[in-house]
Amino acid sequence: MAGPSTGRPSRRSRALRPLAARLVFLGPGLGFLIVFLLVPLALMMSYTIFRRGRFGGVVYEATAENFGRLFDPLYFDIVLSSVRTAAVTTLIALLVGYPTAYVIARLPRRWKTIALIAVVLPFWTNFLIRVYAWVILLSGPGLVNETLTGVGLIDKPIQFLYNEGTIVTGLLYSYLPLMILPLYAAIERLDPQLREASANLGARPARTFASVTLPLTVPGVLTGCVFVFVPCLGNFVIPEILGGGRSIMAGNLIRDQFLKARDWPFGSTLALAVIAVLIVLLFLQAWASRAYGGTEGRRA
Amino acid sequence: MSRTRYTRRLPAAAIAAGLVLALAACGGSDSTSADGAAPSAATDQLNPNADLTKQSLDITIWDGYSPKDLPQRVKSKLGFDVKIAIHDTNEAAMARVATNTDSGIDVAFVSGQYAQALNEQGLLEPLHPELIPNLANLYPEASQLSFDKGNKFSVPYTWGTTGICYRTDLVKAPPTSWNDILTPPDDLKGKVTMMTTERWLALPALKALNYSINTTDDKQLAQVKESLLKAKQWGMLYDDTTFGAKLEKGEAAMVEAWDGWCPTTNPKIKFMVPKEGSDLWSDTMVIMKTSKNKEAAHAFINFILDPAVHSWVAENILYKVPNKAAMDLVAQNDKELLEKNAPLKMTPAELLKGESIIDLGEASAKYTRLATEISAQQ
């Protein structure tokens, strides 16, 4: 890592200085991650092979039963249906986010900044409050229903809330910016001359998009998809608030193992399973980025 | 206040899942307390004339569950320092005190079932009633709680039950039975909520079927599952924390609720306990065996049981306290508060009709699974 140290002792001291400097800069962040990410992660992984304790916690008797329970249809189906919900959300986010990012990337500089601020603006408000705002908007006596009945379009409030659709809506709303930003970055840095070249060679805009723009932005697409998919899978607030507690996602299942069932080992095993899925996804994304975007996407 | 209620109940919710006590229904609990009393035999003699100013107390309690100036009041009245540690959940309290080494905690506030479990492990100091003369302030019923009959190792701090909280203007007929929640009329579709935490999710169906809330019988639980699945297909919603707000906004018309959580200060909202009966929960004070300040700990509990102190809980958290003198004081000080909060007026006799939720040990996993099955059903 610290540069070429092979067989040139005279350069070692010079190589060490940047290493020391790097440590100074990296140290705090690295230390934080090791203490607050790696250590808890290692703890969690170790819990998976033990039994649950009387008051929560774990009893250090080795067992493999937690992994066996993963394949219980009850839990397996919950994880599977969460993957489906997260995938649907990601797909819609991509379909909505790509044109948005595309337009933002082509805006004049001033408007670009304003548009980008607008995209991240929701993050300035607490997540829970934003989710709850949807309840206020959509509930039976809520704003939308009141307006519709007030105008006379409907006579009885429509039940918008508490179904799969509202869950996807909530997830989409919450994580769309995470799709738009990487897409914007990918589209923004595309060399406009490539598009011009394509047009000069006689390609119509649709063809240019399909053959030039889209393939070159695949790394951004994949990054956006992972950014949206991952938090969707782990979310437990939205199914509870916007789903009316009627459906359960992997995030809820894990949370419940810790807070309600007091089964830390099984909760850890579930969490590990979700992490495993995500790691596979990240590898796929890295692999596909390289295959598609080639070195171009990486270097730019 | 709302935060207190949230933090207090969420843990209680977790009561369901896991102490490894093999005892089931109330019948068993007598022997529990008897067993539990066993370790008490070899207890140090406490000195009633100990110099309390040489002691100090560490207590662990839910946030907002005691008066803010409690340490100052104890200091000026009894002369020793009190340090308060906060726990969010019963589990957190357990993690703190359920160790074999001295946790440094002298007095812990935990739910009844947890007190029972701690005592089973021999971690609690048997109470010395002679050092707590204010026990006389408690209702006689307060010593009849099935996790600790006779208050051998715990003193109840609050108690209450679960029932139906509803909007009088939104339901056509006031509910009388748990079946009114499980199979409500169609015009209430999307306006009825139940709790999702395991034991309270099962409670309405168990009681409607006339089963014990502590049952571990697979056939009975299968019937419960069927009943709950039907309710979900009908359009039941689930809410453990915001049902009170939903009622106030008119977003819900009828909800399963803990008594202290039903916003009956709103004249349109009423609380009732269905005719099939319900549960009885209690949060208690216990003294740790490892405490080196046992005389001060007893004096502290005695101080809490002082009507002027204990009434604070009823007046500020709107939970009933099992302290007759304190409840009388509330009635005397603030009659309006009682009038506005019907659940506060429930008598101990009414409360005692409720069945205490007892820990089911390994069998509690059945309730966890039931809850997951209900929520996984599309």
Closest CB from A57, A75, A259 relative to B14: A259
Please tell me which residue, A183 or B361, carries the higher pLDDT value.
Answer: A183
Domain membership of residue B14 (yes or no) is no
Mean residue pLDDT across chain B: 85
Q: How would residue B20 be classed by pLDDT, with cut points 50, 70 and 90?
A: very low
User: Which chain B residues contact residue A81 at CB under 8 A?
Assistant: 378
> Does the CA dihedral B368-B369-B372-B377 come out positive or negative?
negative
Structure tokens at A77: 């189906």
For residue B12, pLDDT over 60 is answered with no
Q: For residues A19 and A2, what is the distance between their CA atoms, to the nearest angstrom?
A: 6
Which range has highest mean pLDDT (B5-19, B313-327, B338-352)? B313-327
- CATH of residue B29: 3.40.190.10
Contact B95 A139 (CB under 8 A): no
Nearest CA in chain B to A81: B376
The phi, psi pair for B15, rounded to 5°, reads -45, -40
- Render B113-156 in DSSP notation, one character per residue: HHHHHHHHTT-BPPP-GGG-GGGGGB-GGGG--TTSTT-SS-EE
Among residues B117, B161, B115, which one has the least CA distance to residue B18?
B117
pLDDT at position B51 is: 87
Taking the domains of chain A in order of start, what are their residue ranges? 67-299
Asked whether residue B303 falls in the same domain as residue B245, the answer is no
Residue A108, classified by CB atoms within 10 Å of its CB into exposed (0-12), middle (13-18) or buried (19+), is exposed
Domain membership of residue B110 (yes or no) is yes
Asked whether residue B47 falls in the same domain as residue B192, the answer is no
Per-residue pLDDT reduced to its tens digit, A191-243: 889 888 998 998 888 898 888 888 889 889 999 999 999 999 989 999 988 98
Structure tokens at B271: 């609380």
Contact B26, B356 (CB under 8 A): yes
Nearest CA in chain A to B370: A74
Kindly provide the b/e burial profile for residues A109-133, where b requires at least 16 CB atoms within 10 angstroms of the residue's own CB: eeebeebbeebeeeeeeeeeeebbe
pLDDT at position A251 is: 92
User: Which chain B residues contact residue A245 at CB under 8 A?
Assistant: 193, 196, 237-240, 375
Closest CB from A56, A135, A245 relative to B91: A56
Nearest CA in chain A to B375: A247
pLDDT at position A294 is: 52
For residue B6, pLDDT over 80 is answered with no
Asked whether residue B184 falls in the same domain as residue B145, the answer is no
Nearest CA in chain B to A58: B95
Q: How would residue B344 be classed by pLDDT, with cut points 50, 70 and 90?
A: confident
Contact B18 A54 (CB under 8 A): yes
pLDDT at position A11 is: 53
Q: For residues A170 and A241, what is the distance between their CA atoms, to the nearest angstrom?
A: 10
Does any CB of chain B come closer than 8 Å to the CB of residue A81?
A: yes
Domain membership of residue B4 (yes or no) is no
Does any CB of chain B come closer than 8 Å to the CB of residue A77?
A: yes
Q: For residues A237 and A241, what is the distance between their CA atoms, to the nearest angstrom?
A: 6
Side-chain half-sphere CA neighbours of A13 within 13 A:
1
Residue B125, C-beta contacts closer than 8 angstroms, at least 6 positions apart: B40, B43, B153, B286, B287, B288, B289, B291, B294, B297
Contact A103, A209 (CB under 8 A): no
Could you tell me the residue range of the domain that residue B82 belongs to?
Answer: 19-160+280-356
Does any CB of chain B come closer than 8 Å to the CB of residue A245?
A: yes
Question: Is 1.10.3720.10 the CATH number for A67-299?
Answer: yes
Q: For residues B289 and B47, what is the distance between their CA atoms, to the nearest angstrom?
A: 16
> Does the CA dihedral B6-B10-B15-B16 come out positive or negative?
positive
| DSSP class of B108 | E
User: Which chain A residues contact residue B188 at CB under 8 A?
Assistant: none
Q: What is the H or E stretch that residue B267 is in?
A: none
Domain membership of residue B5 (yes or no) is no
pLDDT at position B39 is: 44
Q: For residues A56 and B278, what is the distance between their CA atoms, to the nearest angstrom?
A: 27
How many independent structural domains does chain B possess? Answer: 2
Kindly provide the b/e burial profile for residues A13-30, where b requires at least 16 CB atoms within 10 angstroms of the residue's own CB: eeeeeeeeeeeeeeeeee
pLDDT at position B241 is: 83
Contact B249 A141 (CB under 8 A): yes
Structure tokens at B11: 């843990």
ipTM entry: 0.76
In chain B, which residues touch A (CB < 8 A)? 10, 13-14, 16-20, 89, 91, 94-95, 98, 114, 117, 189-191, 193, 196-198, 232, 236-240, 249-251, 365, 368-369, 371-373, 375-376, 378
Tell me how far CA of residue B290 lies from CA of A147, B60, B108, B115, B314, in angstroms: 63, 14, 12, 15, 31
Supply angle C-alpha A278, A280, A286, rounded to 5: 100
Q: How would residue B33 be classed by pLDDT, with cut points 50, 70 and 90?
A: very low
Contact A260 B232 (CB under 8 A): no
Residue count of chain A: 300
Closest CB from A74, A141, A261 relative to B17: A261
Per-residue pLDDT reduced to its tens digit, B131-181: 999 999 999 999 989 889 999 999 999 999 999 999 999 999 999 999 999
Contact B254, B178 (CB under 8 A): no
Asked whether residue B145 falls in the same domain as residue B190, the answer is no
Residue A229, C-beta contacts closer than 8 angstroms, at least 6 positions apart: A86, A87, A89, A90, A281
Domain membership of residue B48 (yes or no) is yes
Residue type at B352 in one-letter notation = L
Please tell me which residue, B121 or B1, carries the higher pLDDT value.
Answer: B121
Closest CB from A139, A142, A260 relative to B198: A260
Domain membership of residue B75 (yes or no) is yes
Asked whether residue B237 falls in the same domain as residue B256, the answer is yes
CA distance B48 to chain A (A): 34
Asked whether residue B265 falls in the same domain as residue B306, the answer is no
CA distance A141 to chain B (A): 6
Domain membership of residue B89 (yes or no) is yes
Q: Which residue has the tokens 């690295």?
A: A30
The low-confidence residues of chain A, meaning pLDDT below 70, are: 1-16, 54-57, 293-300
Contact B307, B330 (CB under 8 A): no
